[in-house]
Structure 1
Amino acid sequence: MSIAIKEVTKSFGSFQALKALNLTLASGEFTAILGPSGCGKTTLLRMLAGFEQPSGGEIQMNGKLVASSSFAIPPERRRIGMVFQAFALWPHMNVAEHVRFPIRSHRETPAHIRDNEQEHVERVLAMVGLSKLAARMPHELSGGQKQRVAIARAIAPSPSLLLMDEPLSSLDAMLRMDMRREIQSVHRQTGTAIVYVTHDQGEALAMADRIIVMKDGEIEQAGTPQDIYLRPNTEFVAKFVSKANLVQGRWEQNHFIPRAAASELKWYGGEVSTHFKQTGAYPVRPDQFVLGDALEEGIKGEVVNVQFQGKEFHYDIRADKEQWEVISPRAFRMNEHVTLALPV
């Protein structure tokens, strides 16, 4: 299902949650809507689902108008599936019944699925690894199993669009990694377009074909995970997604001279956004810095904090009047003098 969002706004009283959004989502694409709490990402998702109506603009699906300020097709007629942050399972239904229910209740369920209901239920359960748990009740399931049921229920009627609202936020770290793979597998097997709302940068980078970064009801940047992470366009995207340090200095065309450098040290920045060249900054990710001892070439700094993380160390380095986060496999002590450089 292709989606076109044209000049969409949403207000709640005097508060404007969304500000003239324009966005196109391709059929079969896995799109992550990424941003901090209150940026408008869940409001956007609820409008795609039909739970909220735009205050202005319009939303089209497959070229058909589904919502405007004066018109809205109800959720049950949009052929969508939704996975919520809470599992929202029904305590009186077993796993198989959860999958069967939307097949029977959704108006838009294709006829070939209705005609082969039991076979389809079994196929969906196999897809999410729940074949042996079909008779289990929700209270007999682990958190990861419950989330698999929620996903199976959402995809059972073969929706054209699957909406996911922070579906992994209630799971522990290891289980989230497993569920990422499950969701990617479902996407590959079904080919259904997915819009996935999250505030977790790792989830968005790992799973999505395209990431939409939102801030204060507006789109800050849209692009592939590689574009967003490696080539941020604004300070917000650089810090929120890449966790980048904004090194201050001056630009001479495509070369940057850090303010903290003792000599005329220059970094090449041909791919750095024009915005940073205009503001006199250079975004450097913590893992991008090369950390060396005090005798090596680079910006001179001092270790002011260190955290051991197994295969690497996380440092806070003070240089001149700036302080930066640095990730390095090399071991240094507190208050040790070091140098910072970028790979050529």
Structure 2
Amino acid sequence: MSIKVTNVKMNYKNFTALKSINLTIHSGEFVAILGPSGCGKTTLLRLLAGFSKPTEGTIFIDDEECGSSNKLVPPEKRNIGMVFQSFALWPHMNVREHVKFPLLHHKFVSETLKKNPNSRVNKVLDIVGMKSFVNRMPHELSGGQKQRVALARAIAPQPQLLLMDEPLSSLDAELRMEMRREIINIHQTTKSAIVYVTHDQSEALAMADRIVVMNNGTIEQIGTPKEIYCYPKTEFVASFVGKANLVSGKWKGNTFTPTAGSCFNKWDGTKVSQIFKDKNLYPVRPEQFTLSKEVTGNGIIGTIQSIQYQGKEVHYTLDVFSEEWVVHDRFFSNYSIGERVYITPDTVQSTLNMVVVK
């Protein structure tokens, strides 16, 4: 199933939730819609599901117009599955009944599944690891188990499109990691297209084939996880995904000289977006810097302001010529608040191809 969103706009009275959205989702693709609360990502998901129609623009599913200001194909007439943030389980049905329900009532269920729904139920529950809980009621399940049932119910009728609205936000950290693996396995097993709404950048980076970064009702950037992280095109993407340092300085062609350094500090900016060049900024991820107590020829002096120990690494906040830089250093690094250190680009780990030349 392919989806094409063309010039879609969504108004709510005096508020514009979506502003001229253009997006194509290919068959079998896992697309994460990433952004902060209120950016319009859930509104876009509701339009894809058929819960509402756009104020302007058109939504096509497999080249068929399904949503416009004059037309709305309802959810039950779209070959989709939906997983909600709140699980949305029915209190009077056990696990088996939840998974069997769409097999009996979903419009697009194949005749093969209709003839032997119990076999499909067993297979789906085995996929999500809930085969031994078939007779449990929702109130007898943990949060992670409820989410597995919601996933099983959504994939049971083999929909061509699976829509997920922040399905892991109510789970604790360990369960979220476990459920990420389950969703990736489900995607690989079912081959359905998935549109996954989240505000959690780590979820999007870990699972998606492509990420759509949204802000204030618009799309800031679309790309693979590597493209979004390594080559942000706007200040918002750089700061929202990975919390990049926006270093000030001067550009000359594709060469950047940071204000905080000397004239000998020159960084290659061949792949840096023109938006940053126009504003005399250079995006640098926290892990692209290393710290040293030793004087280095190209090192930039900074003073450590705060320290956060994270186990595998240490997060340092530094004052660098009145700018605040964040550096993620190795777990065995040992610096103190108030200590002056030298900051240099890590040319080995750099994902922005940043280099220092004389």
Fold in common (TM above 0.5):
yes
CA displacement at 1:274 relative to structure 2: 1.6
Query: Which 5+ residue runs of structure 2 have no aligned equivalent?
Result: 348-358
Give the corresponding residue for 1:342.
345
Equivalent residues in 2 for 1:59-138, closer than 5 Å: 59-138=59-138
For the 8 Å contact 1:230–1:242, the answer to whether it is kept is no
| Aligned-partner Cα distance in 2 for 1:214–1:179 | 24
For the 8 Å contact 1:21–1:219, the answer to whether it is kept is yes
Equivalent residues in 2 for 1:26-41, closer than 5 Å: 26-41=26-41
Residues 219-262 of structure 1, C-alpha deviations (whole Å, 9 max, x = no match) = 00000000000000000000000210000000122211000114
Residues 175-227 of structure 1, C-alpha deviations (whole Å, 9 max, x = no match) = 10000000000000000000000000000000000000001111000000000
Q: Which amino acid aligns with 1:343?
A: D
Equivalent residues in 2 for 1:1-344, closer than 5 Å: 1-297=1-297, 298-329=299-330, 330-344=333-347
Q: Which amino acid aligns with 1:320?
A: F
Q: How many residues align?
A: 344
Residues 260-300 of structure 1, C-alpha deviations (whole Å, 9 max, x = no match) = 11443111122111211111000001111111115223111
CA displacement at 1:324 relative to structure 2: 0.8
Q: 2:88 is paired with a residue of what secondary structure?
A: coil
For the 8 Å contact 1:47–1:54, the answer to whether it is kept is yes
Runs of 4 or more, structure 1, over 2 Å off, are none
Q: 2:32 is paired with a residue of what secondary structure?
A: strand
| Aligned-partner Cα distance in 2 for 1:311–1:14 | 48
| Aligned-partner Cα distance in 2 for 1:222–1:25 | 11
| Aligned-partner Cα distance in 2 for 1:22–1:265 | 40
Residues 95-150 of structure 1, C-alpha deviations (whole Å, 9 max, x = no match) = 01000011111122121111121111111111111111111111111111110000
| Aligned-partner Cα distance in 1 for 2:250–2:111 | 64
Q: 2:194 is paired with a residue of what secondary structure?
A: strand
Q: Which amino acid aligns with 1:336?
A: E
| Aligned-partner Cα distance in 1 for 2:262–2:321 | 10
CA displacement at 1:311 relative to structure 2: 2.2
For the 8 Å contact 2:163–2:196, the answer to whether it is kept is yes
| Aligned-partner Cα distance in 1 for 2:263–2:214 | 39
For the 8 Å contact 2:51–2:75, the answer to whether it is kept is yes
For the 8 Å contact 1:50–1:73, the answer to whether it is kept is yes
Query: Which 5+ residue runs of structure 1 have no aligned equivalent?
Result: none
For the 8 Å contact 1:165–1:196, the answer to whether it is kept is yes
For the 8 Å contact 1:313–1:331, the answer to whether it is kept is no
| Aligned-partner Cα distance in 1 for 2:194–2:179 | 15
Q: Which amino acid aligns with 1:267?
A: W
Q: 1:8 is paired with a residue of what secondary structure?
A: strand
Q: Please report the TM-score for the alignment, with normalisation by the length of structure 1.
A: 0.98
CA displacement at 1:341 relative to structure 2: 1.1
| Aligned-partner Cα distance in 2 for 1:31–1:312 | 30
Q: 2:288 is paired with a residue of what secondary structure?
A: coil
For the 8 Å contact 2:257–2:263, the answer to whether it is kept is no
| Aligned-partner Cα distance in 2 for 1:231–1:214 | 16
Q: Which amino acid aligns with 1:254?
A: N
Residues 142-185 of structure 1, C-alpha deviations (whole Å, 9 max, x = no match) = 11111000000011111110000000000000110000000000
Is 253-262 or 160-169 further displaced after alignment? 253-262
CA displacement at 1:343 relative to structure 2: 2.4
| Aligned-partner Cα distance in 1 for 2:328–2:283 | 15
- Cα RMSD over matched residues? 0.9
Is 143-152 or 103-112 further displaced after alignment? 103-112
Is 242-251 or 296-305 further displaced after alignment? 296-305
Q: 1:287 is paired with a residue of what secondary structure?
A: helix
